[in-house]
């Protein structure tokens, strides 16, 4: 498949040709590579760009289009004359060639093709660090689904928003307090093109919002074979509020958030239509895109269907994945709030206000109940699923009132457990090791347990060498980053340089990195400060790496970071603990690969899935986790460590129990087993667990298994 397929293909070809003009002839193929993120999960891709100019590559944040545009002609000519580089470029070009035939994924009962794909709608996508339109786990999952759909030859298009300022960045001051700031992204510097219509003018769609007809345009970003269409309202035709809609991810202003939902859901359908795409299935990934149901209802009515038949048609092609087991995560809005922003949309779609509001309520007839996107999505979909077995149970009981009097066990909400895109998350040393032992094309067979059987025969020394390399690479990166973080916030030189001296590439390293929501309970690690400090400074020391952003309004979570910082003066702590600012895809990639242990302490049952532990598992990092989200499905007593997942209303008592369980495990098993070495200095018992972890987590929590589950269990219409 060349870039010319799918709407916007012509625009992409033009952009590629323009970029190729900037390149010496022998390098012109780089332009093709640059305009498709396929390079980012192809072995050698990142390395090839980095080898051209490591400093600039880093400064450009891994954005190959900006990188090439900024690179001087002299260096390009030098590379063009370098036979070694030409060979490596040829190899990469062959590996990212999407015209290679793939066995296509087919969903029974659906005629999928380019014009009738699965439309995947989501408010955020974490495809690559250079495309900053994500905040965390939901985006990481969405990015991984697109990449896996591409690898599996599934006809899918993504729909999202092109945020000009994305999600906030985090800075910590010397007192440990989090500050937020936003930076602007110019989409013209990204591997993205504006989709034009048949006359060559930028394609337009519009959505009535408040009393404005908000106009949008569409950017196309290629994720392998899957085009991701990003909607953008920052256009001169719109007023300042209209332009602001696609400015920030999870904008704090509630009316703007509703407007974003309208652009994503309604604008998404209109943009697809304008591009001639008629999806076979609309996959709403979380509720943000739920308003698309109203647009499709209006279409069905215009085609002559009566009211009930029109809703039937909407449901027949909608599937919904819920990700939020926390009531507060499923926002609701009053009738006034909704009608002031979306009233004109309801009217122009021919839906009366009361029905518009009622479909978003749990009890439609209760006019005092606020409305939300999740009930609307549930009601508009023929299939609803959670993202782990346990989350499926939680979702059934949470949404039972919407299905009353159906008993909880019979509530029609299933689950597809999340998975992660192995080629994106496995670090080079582990990828090399797996390629040698599983056969180079193993990712195509990743969901088959037999693929992972040879892991049992990887010799200890090879496995340990790969794990040591991963840890050492990470520590090198962390040191540089942590020193910069400390200098920037104005710490003393001694404290800043302590990282350089004491973070140790040979020391057992435990990572805790996640969104700093209170339920993730990072505070448990420091709840027993004395015990923590003892571990850090003992004769078999360990070191901790932390990262995570707190929601700008979540002062409680910010105080946890501050408490952690207050311990920095304690003896032996400064060089054994680092908090990495601004947790994002780049930080995540290093940490999930280089740590020895990955900690996760959610308050059960509030973790829907948790995918960072899967990323860790695929890298041979051992999980220590509360049995919540995905971990009850994965943990078998041989492949990591577990802390009770029981629910307890007495949260303080539960916190105390879980803190002591965590430290018991660390003191009695994790630390001694890591240090138990044979005559060759190899930790045999530890490595046996690493093998078990790879073998059990690899096949079941890779995105290949997940997307296959959607293709076989969720997308096919139930006949
Ligand atoms: C994978 C990932 C997440 C999700 O991790 P959890 O286990 O759900 O905490 C969040 N943020 C980033 C940047 C990720 O890569």
Residues 396 and 470 in one domain: no
Confidence of residue 571 (pLDDT cuts 50, 70, 90): confident
- pLDDT at position 50: 97
pLDDT higher than threshold 90 for residue 518: no
For the Cβ of 162 lying below 6 angstroms from any atom of ligand 1, the answer is no
- Hunting for tokens 């993205």 — which residue is that? 192
- pLDDT at position 200: 94
Residues 393 and 466 in one domain: no
DSSP-derived secondary structure for 340-361: HHHHHHHHHTT--HHHHHHTTS
Max CA separation in the chain (angstroms): 79
For the CA of 513, the closest atom of ligand 1 is 9
For the CA of 611, the closest atom of ligand 1 is 7
Residue bearing the CA closest to ligand 1, atom 3: 137
pLDDT higher than threshold 60 for residue 1: no
| β-bridge pairing 577-580 and 542-547 | parallel
For the chain, give me the number of helices (H) and strands (E)?
Answer: 32, 20
CA separation, residue 133 to residues 127, 226, 514 (Å)? 9, 17, 18
Residues 6+ apart with CB under 8 A from 16: 3, 31, 32, 34, 35
For the Cβ of 140 lying below 6 angstroms from any atom of ligand 1, the answer is yes
288: CATH: 3.40.50.2000
For the CA of 420, the closest atom of ligand 1 is 1
**Alpha-helix residue ranges (DSSP H) falling in 515-650:** 524-527, 529-537, 555-566, 585-594, 612-618, 631-634
Task: Enumerate the β-bridge partners of residue 511.
Answer: 545, 598
Residues 496 and 603 in one domain: yes
**Cα 418 to Cα 166: distance, rounded to the nearest angstrom:** 24
Residues 37 and 159 in one domain: no
The answer to the question of residue 102 being in a domain is: no
Give which of 568, 578, 573 is closest to 541, Cα–Cα: 573
**Cα 576 to Cα 574: distance, rounded to the nearest angstrom:** 6
Residues 390 and 519 in one domain: no
The answer to the question of residue 542 being in a domain is: yes
- pLDDT at position 4: 57
The answer to the question of residue 178 being in a domain is: no
For the Cβ of 7 lying below 6 angstroms from any atom of ligand 1, the answer is no
Residues 525 and 440 in one domain: yes
The answer to the question of residue 16 being in a domain is: yes
Confidence of residue 492 (pLDDT cuts 50, 70, 90): confident
pLDDT higher than threshold 80 for residue 195: yes
Q: Please provide residue 553's backbone torsions phi and psi, each rounded to the nearest 5 degrees.
A: -95, 0
Residues 536 and 557 in one domain: yes
For the Cβ of 137 lying below 6 angstroms from any atom of ligand 1, the answer is yes
For the Cβ of 623 lying below 6 angstroms from any atom of ligand 1, the answer is no
Mean pLDDT of the chain: 95
For the Cβ of 617 lying below 6 angstroms from any atom of ligand 1, the answer is no
For the Cβ of 659 lying below 6 angstroms from any atom of ligand 1, the answer is no
The answer to the question of residue 182 being in a domain is: no
| pLDDT tens digits for range 111-162 | 999 999 999 999 999 999 999 999 999 999 999 999 999 999 999 999 999 9
Q: In terms of pLDDT, which residue wins out, 455 or 488?
A: 455
Mean pLDDT of 372-393: 98
The count of C-alpha atoms lying within 13 angstroms of the C-alpha of 643, restricted to the half-sphere facing its C-beta, is 26
Mean pLDDT of 8-29: 96
Mean pLDDT of 10-31: 96
Confidence of residue 719 (pLDDT cuts 50, 70, 90): low
**Cα 294 to Cα 507: distance, rounded to the nearest angstrom:** 56
Give which of 577, 629, 625 is closest to 598, Cα–Cα: 625
Confidence of residue 247 (pLDDT cuts 50, 70, 90): very high
Cα–ligand 1 centroid distance for 584 (angstroms): 8
The answer to the question of residue 663 being in a domain is: yes
Query: What's the token pair of residue 61?
Result: 């944040």
- Number of Cβ within a 10 Å radius of residue 340: 15
Of 170-184, 389-403, 405-419, 450-464, minimum mean pLDDT range: 170-184
Task: Enumerate the β-bridge partners of residue 318.
Answer: 282
The answer to the question of residue 4 being in a domain is: no
| pLDDT tens digits for range 303-358 | 999 999 999 999 999 999 999 888 777 899 999 999 999 999 999 999 999 999 99
Give residue 366's domain range.
118-164+194-418+709-714
Residues 434 and 395 in one domain: no
Cα–ligand 1 centroid distance for 31 (angstroms): 31
**Cα 394 to Cα 388: distance, rounded to the nearest angstrom:** 10
The answer to the question of residue 438 being in a domain is: yes
Task: Enumerate the β-bridge partners of residue 248.
Answer: 166
Task: Enumerate the β-bridge partners of residue 120.
Answer: 158, 283
Residue bearing the CA closest to ligand 1, atom 8: 610
- pLDDT at position 626: 98
Q: Which helix (H) or strand (E) holds 228?
A: strand 226-232
Residues 378 and 442 in one domain: no
For the Cβ of 607 lying below 6 angstroms from any atom of ligand 1, the answer is no
pLDDT higher than threshold 70 for residue 3: no
Torsion, Cα 347 352 357 359, to 10 degrees, reads: -110
| pLDDT tens digits for range 455-469 | 999 999 999 999 999
Residue bearing the CA closest to ligand 1, atom 12: 136
DSSP state of 383: E
DSSP state of 248: B
Total of domains in the chain: 3
Residues 457 and 582 in one domain: yes
Confidence of residue 567 (pLDDT cuts 50, 70, 90): confident
| pLDDT tens digits for range 591-650 | 999 999 999 999 999 999 999 999 999 999 999 999 999 999 999 999 999 999 999 999
Rounded percentage of the chain residues whose pLDDT exceeds 90: 86
- pLDDT at position 569: 74
Cα–ligand 1 centroid distance for 416 (angstroms): 18
Cα–ligand 1 centroid distance for 126 (angstroms): 10
| β-bridge pairing 597-600 and 577-580 | unpaired
For the Cβ of 263 lying below 6 angstroms from any atom of ligand 1, the answer is no
Residues 408 and 463 in one domain: no
Residues 366 and 246 in one domain: yes
């Amino acid at each position: 498949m060349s870039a010319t397929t799918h709407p916007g293909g012509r625009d992409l070809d033009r952009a590629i040709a323009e970029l190729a003009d900037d390149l010496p002839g022998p390098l012109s193929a780089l332009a093709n590579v640059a305009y498709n993120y396929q390079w980012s999960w192809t072995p050698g891709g990142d390395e090839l760009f980095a080898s051209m100019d490591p400093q600039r590559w880093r400064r450009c944040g891994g954005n190959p289009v900006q990188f090439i545009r900024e690179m001087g002609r002299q260096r390009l000519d030098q590379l063009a004359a370098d036979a070694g580089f030409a060979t490596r470029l040829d190899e990469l070009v062959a590996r990212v060639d999407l015209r290679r035939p793939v066995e296509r994924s087919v969903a029974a009962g659906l005629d999928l093709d380019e014009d009738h794909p699965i439309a995947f709608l989501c408010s955020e996508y974490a495809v690559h660090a250079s495309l900053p339109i994500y905040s965390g786990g939901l985006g990481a999952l969405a990015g991984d689904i697109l990449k896996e759909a591409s690898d599996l030859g599934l006809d899918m298009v993504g729909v999202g928003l092109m945020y000009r300022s994305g999600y906030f960045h985090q800075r910590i001051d010397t007192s440990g307090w989090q500050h937020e700031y936003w930076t602007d992204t110019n989409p013209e510097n990204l591997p993205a093109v504006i989709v034009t219509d048949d006359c060559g003018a930028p394609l337009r769609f519009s959505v009535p919002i408040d009393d404005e007809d908000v106009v949008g345009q569409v950017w196309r970003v290629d994720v392998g074979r899957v085009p991701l269409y990003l909607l953008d309202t920052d256009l001169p035709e719109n007023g300042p509020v209209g332009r602001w809609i696609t400015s920030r991810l999870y904008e704090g202003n509630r009316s703007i958030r509703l407007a974003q939902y309208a652009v994503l859901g309604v604008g998404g359908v209109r943009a697809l239509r304008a591009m001639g795409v008629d999806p076979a299935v609309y996959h709403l990934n979380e509720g943000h895109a739920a308003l698309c149901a109203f647009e499709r209802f209006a279409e069905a009515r215009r085609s002559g269907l009566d009211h009930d038949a029109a809703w039937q048609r909407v449901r027949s092609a909608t599937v919904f994945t819920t990700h939020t087991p926390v009531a507060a995560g499923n926002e609701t809005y009053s009738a006034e709030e909704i009608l002031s922003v979306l009233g004109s949309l309801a009217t122009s779609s021919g839906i009366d206000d009361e029905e518009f509001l009622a479909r978003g309520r749990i009890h439609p007839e209760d006019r005092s109940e606020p409305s939300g996107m999740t009930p609307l999505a549930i009601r508009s979909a023929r299939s609803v699923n959670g993202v782990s077995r346990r989350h499926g149970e939680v979702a059934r009981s949470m949404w039972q009132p919407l299905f009353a009097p159906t008993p909880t066990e019979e509530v029609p909400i299933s689950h597809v457990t999340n998975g992660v895109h192995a080629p994106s998350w496995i670090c080079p040393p582990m990828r090399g090791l797996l390629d040698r032992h599983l056969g180079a094309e193993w990712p195509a067979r990743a969901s088959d347990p037999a693929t992972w059987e040879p892991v049992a025969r990887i010799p200890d020394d090879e496995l340990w060498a790969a794990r040591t390399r991963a840890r050492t690479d990470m520590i090198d990166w962390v040191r540089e980053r942590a020193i910069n973080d400390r200098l920037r916030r104005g710490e003393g030189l001694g404290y800043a340089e302590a990282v350089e001296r004491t973070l140790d590439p040979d020391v057992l390293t435990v990572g805790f990195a996640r969104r700093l929501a209170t339920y993730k309970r990072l505070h448990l690690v420091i709840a027993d400060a004395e015990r923590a400090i003892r571990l850090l400074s003992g004769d078999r020391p360990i070191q901790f790496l932390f990262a995570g952003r707190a929601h700008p309004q979540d002062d409680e979570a910010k105080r946890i970071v501050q408490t952690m910082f207050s311990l920095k003066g304690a003896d032996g702590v400064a060089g054994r603990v680092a908090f990495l600012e601004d947790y994002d895809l780049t930080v995540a990639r290093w940490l999930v690969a280089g740590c020895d242990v990955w900690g996760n302490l959610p308050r059960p049952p509030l973790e829907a899935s948790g995918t960072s532990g899967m990323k860790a598992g695929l890298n041979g990092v051992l999980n220590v986790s509360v049995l919540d989200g995905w971990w009850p499905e994965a943990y078998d007593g041989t492949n990591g460590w577990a802390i009770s997942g029981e629910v307890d209303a007495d949260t303080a008592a539960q916190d105390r129990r879980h803190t002591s369980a965590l430290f018991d495990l660390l003191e009695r098993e994790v630390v001694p087993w890591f240090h138990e070495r044979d005559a060759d200095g190899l930790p045999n018992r530890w490595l046996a667990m690493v093998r078990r972890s790879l073998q059990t987590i690899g096949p079941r929590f890779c995105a290949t298994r997940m997307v296959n589950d959607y293709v076989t269990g969720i997308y096919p219409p139930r006949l």
